[in-house]
A and B are shown apart, each in its own frame.
Chain A
Amino acid sequence: DGGITQSPKYLFRKEGQNVTLSCEQNLNHDAMYWYRQDPGQGLRLIYYSQIVNDFQKGDIAEGYSVSREKKESFPLTVTSAQKNPTAFYLCASSRAGPQHFGDGTRLSIL
């Protein structure tokens, strides 16, 4: 959906480095989500936020952090504590309706 923008499309991380993935939406959606997708697997929930200044851990939150200072933005930081960060990361949003996804960020380790 054109209303959810993820950047960058590709990202490379060095050992010991934190990186931040951006997710912006202009759909006026209240809820936002971050998923991780590995080859041959479904989408696994990392963090989600239903309102500004509030967020909850998903199923695989260890090694990740988020913030929700604005309704439009829900950045995800992949910290050095995440030992296997190589994956496709998807952001989604919803408002009393089904989730809509961004185009994703592919993160790799140098």
Chain B
Amino acid sequence: GENVEQHPSTLSVQEGDSAVIKCTYSDSASNYFPWYKQELGKRPQLIIDIRSNVGEKKDQRIAVTLNKTAKHFSLHITETQPEDSAVYFCAAPPNAGGTSYGKLTFGQGTILTVHP
């Protein structure tokens, strides 16, 4: 099955700085990689995802990069703001199975704190 490792477990930055969270996965056939943001006591919400046929995807201040050879993908947040403070989770399918969506294996999460 898929093994997803996420680093760092905690990340503290000053407002306006960039934040980078990295995940590695074990199944080379995995082809879909979402990132979720979870604020305290609330549901995880999808913030960005990437499929294996592209190397980078951007959405305003958020970007995800994928290195299939090295089997890792990263979340980049630029110009961080205090409201970016939350727990961020990466995920990958436990096996490709010919589909991009379905069961996911989640990373352990990164607690991001943005100081004003």
Interfacial residues, chain A to chain B (CB-CB below 8 A): 1, 31, 33, 35, 40-45, 48, 50, 58, 90, 94, 96-104
Least Cβ–Cβ distance between B27 and chain A, in angstroms: 15
Given contacts A42-B109, A43-B89, contact A48 B44 (CB under 8 A): no
> Which among A48, A99, A103 has the highest number of chain B CB atoms within 10 Å?
A99
Once A and B bind, how many residue pairs between them come within 8 Å at the CB atom?
48
Which B-chain residue is minimally distant from A88 (CB atoms)? B41
Q: Which residues of the other chain, B, contact A43 by a CB distance below 8 angstroms?
A: 44, 89, 106
> Which among A35, A98, A102 has the highest number of chain B CB atoms within 10 Å?
A98
Q: Which residues of the other chain, A, contact B56 by a CB distance below 8 angstroms?
A: none
Contact: A100 with B102, CB < 8 Å?
Answer: no
Q: Which residues of the other chain, A, contact B6 by a CB distance below 8 angstroms?
A: 42
Which 8 residue pairs of A and B lie closest in terms of their CB atoms, listed nearest first?
A: A42-B106, A101-B43, A43-B106, A42-B108, A98-B46, A101-B44, A42-B109, A103-B43
Interfacial residues, chain B to chain A (CB-CB below 8 A): 6, 9, 34, 42-46, 49, 89, 101-109
Contact: A45 with B103, CB < 8 Å?
Answer: yes
Contact: A103 with B101, CB < 8 Å?
Answer: no
Please name 19 pairs of A and B residues whose Cβ atoms are closer than 8 Å in the assembled complex, sorted by A. Answer: A1-B43, A31-B102, A33-B103, A35-B106, A40-B108, A41-B108, A41-B109, A42-B6, A42-B89, A42-B106, A42-B107, A44-B106, A45-B104, A58-B103, A96-B101, A98-B49, A99-B104, A103-B42, A103-B43
- Give Cα A33–Cα B106 distance, bound, in whole angstroms: 13
> Which among B6, B89, B102 has the highest number of chain A CB atoms within 10 Å?
B102
- Give Cα A35–Cα B44 distance, bound, in whole angstroms: 11
Q: Which residues of the other chain, A, contact B89 by a CB distance below 8 angstroms?
A: 42-43
- Give Cα A84–Cα B102 distance, bound, in whole angstroms: 27
Least Cβ–Cβ distance between B22 and chain A, in angstroms: 15
Which B-chain residue is minimally distant from A99 (CB atoms)? B104
Q: Which residues of the other chain, B, contact A100 by a CB distance below 8 angstroms?
A: 46
Least Cβ–Cβ distance between A104 and chain B, in angstroms: 6
Least Cβ–Cβ distance between A43 and chain B, in angstroms: 4
